[in-house]
Amino acid sequence: MKALILASRQRYERYMPDNEFVKSAEKIYIPFNQPEDEIIKAAEAAGALDAEVIFADAIGRVGRALISRMPNLKLIQSEGVGYNGIDVAAAKERGIFVCNNKGVNADSVAEQTILLMLGLLRRVVVFDGRVREGLQIQTKEEMMLGGIRDLSECTVGLIGFGDIAKAVALKLKPFGCRVVYFTRHPLSAADEAYYGAGYVPLDELLHIADIVSLHLPVTESTVNTVNADFIGKMKNTAYLINTARGELVDNLAVCSALTEGRIAGAGFDCVAPEPTLRDNPLLNLPKSAAEKVIFSPHVGGISERSFVVAHKRIWENAQAVINGKNPQNIVS
């Protein structure tokens, strides 16, 4: 089997399963962060256009032009959960499987989500700076007059209720907070009891939630879900959390809301466009608004365990397809 790998060679080699199928596969690595025509040229030069499998970085692009140049292609496999960079329609026309690693990092991202919730409520970035400035006692006195909310006192609203949101709900149970969710297909009463979450319409969720956490895929209908209208329905004491995808958020709308005090703060593990560069408006807020925001560099789902499991599945899918069987986690 020949695999065209549009992702980090170091990462693939680090997490590569130790078995004969993997060892015997011909692996051709090409950097994914370049224009499609350059990828095609590099693949042609490396003799990779006859590969049966493409392994793609979760934020990489596999376009129609590349797919059309690969006559033996049977599988396009995302390394992670995301696959919006893959031209699913072009693959479907050719009968090529497109698969992702659904749920593989749900627990890791859920931990990051709760970290951001607690970080905002406890103002960890600001407080760290205050202590370093020698203002420990002054800050403590300010907070004793009222300034810290316990997570247990909050209503947490989860928008979308897939694998990650479900993991978040389960991890929130010991905190004792109220958890509500919105999704197109509400759960059964038994499942709601298991996850400790109750369904509410979206507008109601925005109206009652102290923390609004995004858990949606990126589609044409979900881009800029968080816009001025969305924010206008939130409490001005509420926090926004995004550990899903940056494209769900209208950056300028959030900047305005933070600057004008229409939301209390925001925690981002992902910001669009990615890579997040210094000129992004969210990184250029005035100091009073900037102190309300916590960033992490899209690391929520990249725990070591997640990659071990993900790469095991990747190669299992390749082997299944080569052997004429259906792979796991088919998205097309």
Q: State how far the Cα of 243 lies from the Cα of 116, in Å rounded to an integer.
A: 9
Find tokens 């209503």 and name the residue: 155
Q: Of 189, 149, 156, 186, give the one whose Cα is nearest residue 172.
A: 156
Task: Count Cα atoms within 13 angstroms, Cβ side, for 226.
Answer: 32
Q: Which of 245, 247, 311, 313 is catalytic?
A: 245
The neighbour count for residue 41, using CB atoms within 10 Å, is: 13
- Say which amino acid occupies 116: L
Q: Which of 36, 192, 274, 291 is catalytic?
A: 274
Residue by residue, DSSP assigns 187-208 as PPHHHHHHHT-EE--HHHHHHH
Q: Is 162 helix (H, G, I), strand (E, B) or coil?
A: coil
Is residue 130 among the annotated active site residues?
no
Q: Of 233, 103, 211, 232, give the one whose Cα is nearest residue 159.
A: 211
Is residue 185 among the annotated active site residues?
no
Is residue 311 among the annotated active site residues?
no
Residue 48 backbone phi and psi in degrees, to 5: -105, -5
R_g of the chain computed on alpha carbons: 22
Q: Which residues are annotated as catalytic?
A: 245, 274, 298
